[in-house]
Chain A
Amino acid sequence: AQSVSQHNHHVILSEAASLELGCNYSYGGTVNLFWYVQYPGQHLQLLLKYFSGDPLVKGIKGFEAEFIKSKFSFNLRKPSVQWSDTAEYFCAVNEGTYKYIFGTGTRLKVLA
């Protein structure tokens, strides 16, 4: 069955540190890839998405992600995190249907 793995469950960083959150998926066909963010007390919001084309995708708030097909990965990055980036981040895969498969999430805490 298709699955999404997020290996970092909790990450703690100081402000201005660089961030990379891992995401691997287990589907060999064409996929659409997403990162969603959930700020404390708020709903899930789309951060960025990859459908096709340039494998380096830029999203909101300075986030970017790189799709590496050979590694089945879609890691999220940000060069310099801010306290306001404290949130839970979810990677999701859509295999060409309406169904989204989510990872278990990574809780990021940024220390001021």
Chain B
Amino acid sequence: GAGVSQSPRYKVAKRGQDVALRCDPISGHVSLFWYQQALGQGPEFLTYFQNEAQLDKSGLPSDRFFAERPEGSVSTLKIQRTQQEDSAVYLCASSLSGRSGNTIYFGEGSWLTVV
């Protein structure tokens, strides 16, 4: 597609519920990133994929967070047993390669509210 596509755009989850957020990167982009943006904050790094390999998951806040990109294209961020502090915008981004300084292109984000 023309840009990074994320779904759902908005999700309200009850505390304790599992959620799955989908990212469809720009076609041909090798690198894929997930960021978390809390209200009034800048995006914070969660995890990085190069093709299907998850090379860095150091930013995932807890073991309730899990990301995958099994075929090196679409990625899913899963949050198990959601908590109120998980409420944030989850941003997916992709870039042509993992080389430093490559421009990364962001999706519109998935707004998660945990009630």
Contact = CB atoms under 8 A, between A and B. Distances in A.
Interface of A: 4, 6, 32, 36, 42-46, 49, 51, 90, 92, 94-105
B41 A44 contact: no
A50 B100 CA distance: 12
Interface of B: 3-4, 31, 33, 35, 40-45, 48, 50, 55-56, 91, 93, 95, 98, 100-101, 103-109
B45 A100 contact: yes
Contact of A42 (B55, B93, B108): B108
13 contacts: A6-B42, A42-B108, A43-B91, A90-B42, A94-B100, A95-B100, A98-B31, A98-B100, A100-B45, A102-B43, A103-B42, A104-B42, A105-B42
A44 B91 contact: yes
B43 A96 contact: no
B33 A43 contact: no
Given A98-B48, A98-B56, A99-B56, A44 B43 contact: yes
A99 B48 contact: yes
A43 B107 contact: yes
Nearest to A90: B42
A59 to B, nearest CB: 12
